[in-house]
């Protein structure tokens, strides 16, 4: 049976990836420092190690002793706003942490490596981006993820490690199992809207209404977390079979503005959400949408939850479940 290590497996997306792997009866090992991850999200059938990826010695022992064959690396800090204020933290965690994993992967002859990257690596203002679009991150967060990608490309190039770099667009929603979903509050719009939706008089801050978009607010491409988890399973299988590495955009190709999202939440909760417009936030991109032709072709993939109404319903359902 295959031994798979998931870093960040106690986090939002990581817990969904683990849930899928466990369903497929894989041997799953989790490394997480619980900085934003939660014990509640850790699958009981996985073996958990509370460990920081900055701790190379401990990380390397876990990988060696558990005979890890594949690594899915999700552990990272991911708030664009925080990254602008505290770049050192992001550089250490996202760049040096990833370097530690690469080093141990090479030493222990890991076969497959899947890396969580982001659409924040692309140049702002391009609107729809393919994997060949210009890379020019606007935020510190995006810069650290791009450095992670470059280190993977450089380090694994001459090795036998096959890798997949997955550039997620904006992830939202929760598992239909009802057991896992996003707990930690960050600067993600759908999470914040889910939280305020529970209030009697909901109010939300919107950063910038003077962007060059239809309604003046930022546009993003939201993908349901179940589809993201599914992509990890398929890509891992594919790189094993093909024995070739790949870079893929993970998005639906739909542009949704901040106001579109607010309207959908209002419709579903049947309440007015008061909007407080604030200045633009440093590091935020104006609009970014995925060209997903490559992933569709490569994985013969088609999204299962590509519907704003379903995504919002799934967010509201989960938020009601957690106190
Ligand atoms: N959520 C999104 O919309 C989105 C979009 C693009 C990319 N991503 C990427 O997906 C990955 C997972 O994000 P998420 O939304 O699940 O966030 P999350 O905060 O829920 O998950 C990150 C996990 O990593 C752990 N972690 C962080 N630093 C660590 C360290 N040094 N050592 C060990 N564990 C550490 C945290 O405790 C947490 O459990 C990240 O790499 C992120 O950059 C997320």
Q: Phi, psi at residue 184, to the nearest 5°? A: -75, 135
Q: Hey, which of 46, 74, 224, 283 would you mutate to test ligand 1's pocket, going by the most ligand atoms within 8 Å of its Cβ?
A: 74
Question: Domain for residue 293, yes or no?
Answer: no
**What are the per-10-residue average pLDDT scores of the chain (323 residues)?**
96 98 97 98 98 98 98 96 96 98 98 98 96 97 98 96 98 96 93 96 97 97 98 97 96 98 98 97 94 98 96 96 83
Contact 117, 165 (CB under 8 A): yes
| Domain match, 78 and 165 both | yes
* Interatomic CA distance for residues 170 and 292, integer angstroms: 14
| Cβ-contact 197, 269 below 8 angstroms | yes
Q: Are 156 and 98 in contact (CB under 8 A)?
A: no
Residues whose CB is less than 8 angstroms from the CB of residue 1 and which lie 6 or more positions away in sequence, other chains included: 25, 26, 27
Ligand 1, atom nearest to 37 Cα: 39
**Ligand 1 mean position, distance from CA 224 (Å):** 16
Q: Which residues are marked as active site?
A: 141
- The CATH number for 273's domain is 3.90.25.10
Nearest-angstrom CA–CA distance, 230 and 246: 16
Q: Which of 96, 124, 92, 276 is nearest to 201 (CA)?
A: 276
121 and 238, same structural domain? Answer: yes
Provide the pLDDT for residue 1: 82
Residues 233 and 125 in one domain: yes
Do 244 and 262 lie in one domain? The reply is: no
Residue 73: CA atoms inside 13 Å, Cβ hemisphere, count? 33
**pLDDT score recorded for residue 207:** 96
**Protein residues with CB under 6 Å of any ligand 1 atom:** 8, 10-14, 31-37, 52-54, 74-78, 93, 97, 116, 118, 168, 170-171, 184, 188
8 A C-beta contact, residue 143 and residue 88: no
8 A C-beta contact, residue 255 and residue 221: yes
233 domain residue, yes or no: yes
Q: How many other CB atoms are there within 10 angstroms of residue 44's CB atom?
A: 6
Whole-number Å distance, alpha carbon 78 to ligand 1 midpoint, is 6
Nearest to 315 by CA among 174, 168, 169, 171: 174
On whether the pTM is more than 0.75, the answer is: yes
In a domain, 294, yes or no: no
H or E stretch covering 317: helix 308-321
Give the Cβ contact number of residue 43 at 10 Å.
21
- 67 C-alpha to ligand 1 centroid (Å): 24
Cα(210)–Cα(280) distance, rounded to whole angstroms?
8
Number of the ligand 1 atom closest to the C-alpha atom of 38: 39
Residue 99, domain member (yes or no): yes
Q: Give the pLDDT confidence score for residue 186 in this predicted structure.
A: 85
Q: Give the pLDDT confidence score for residue 283 in this predicted structure.
A: 87
Per-residue model confidence (pLDDT) at position 223:
98
Residues 163, 19, single domain; the answer is yes
Residue 242 sits in the same domain as residue 280? no
- Tally the domains of the chain: 2
Residue 105: predicted pLDDT: 98
In 7-132, which residue ranges form alpha helices assigned H by DSSP? 12-23, 56-65, 80-85, 87-90, 97-107
Domain that includes residue 150, residue range: 3-171+222-250
């Amino acid at each position: 049976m295959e031994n798979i290590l998931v870093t960040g497996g106690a986090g939002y997306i990581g817990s969904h990836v683990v849930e899928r792997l466990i369903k497929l009866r894989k041997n799953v090992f989790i490394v997480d420092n619980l900085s934003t991850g939660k014990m509640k999200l850790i699958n009981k059938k996985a073996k958990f190690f509370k460990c920081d990826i900055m701790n190379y010695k401990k990380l390397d022992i876990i990988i060696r002793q558990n005979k890890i064959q594949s690594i899915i690396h999700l552990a990272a800090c991911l708030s664009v706003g925080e990254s602008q204020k505290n770049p050192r933290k992001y550089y250490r965690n996202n760049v040096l942490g990833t370097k530690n994993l690469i080093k141990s992967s090479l030493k222990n002859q890991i076969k497959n490596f899947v890396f969580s990257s982001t659409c924040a690596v692309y140049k702002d203002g391009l609107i729809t981006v393919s994997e060949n679009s210009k890379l020019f991150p606007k935020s510190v967060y995006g810069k650290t993820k791009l450095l992670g990608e470059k280190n993977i490309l450089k380090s694994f190039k001459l090795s036998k490690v096959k890798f997949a770099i997955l550039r997620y667009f904006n992830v939202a929603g929760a598992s239909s199992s009802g057991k896992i979903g996003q707990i930690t509050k960050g600067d993600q719009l759908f999470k914040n809207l889910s939280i305020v939706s529970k209030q009697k008089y909901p109010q939300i801050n919107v950063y910038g209404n003077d962007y060059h978009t239809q309604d003046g607010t930022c546009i993003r491409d939201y993908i349901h977390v179940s589809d993201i988890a599914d992509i990890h399973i398929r890509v891992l299988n594919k790189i094993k079979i093909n024995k070739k590495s790949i870079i893929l955009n993970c998005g639906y190709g739909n542009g949704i503005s901040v106001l579109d999202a607010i309207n959908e939440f209002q419709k579903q909760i049947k309440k007015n959400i008061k909007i407080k417009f604030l200045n633009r936030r440093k590091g935020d991109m104006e609009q970014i949408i995925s060209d997903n032709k490559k992933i569709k072709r490569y994985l013969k993939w088609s999204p299962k939850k590509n519907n704003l109404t379903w995504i919002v319903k799934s967010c509201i359902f989960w938020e009601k479940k957690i106190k």
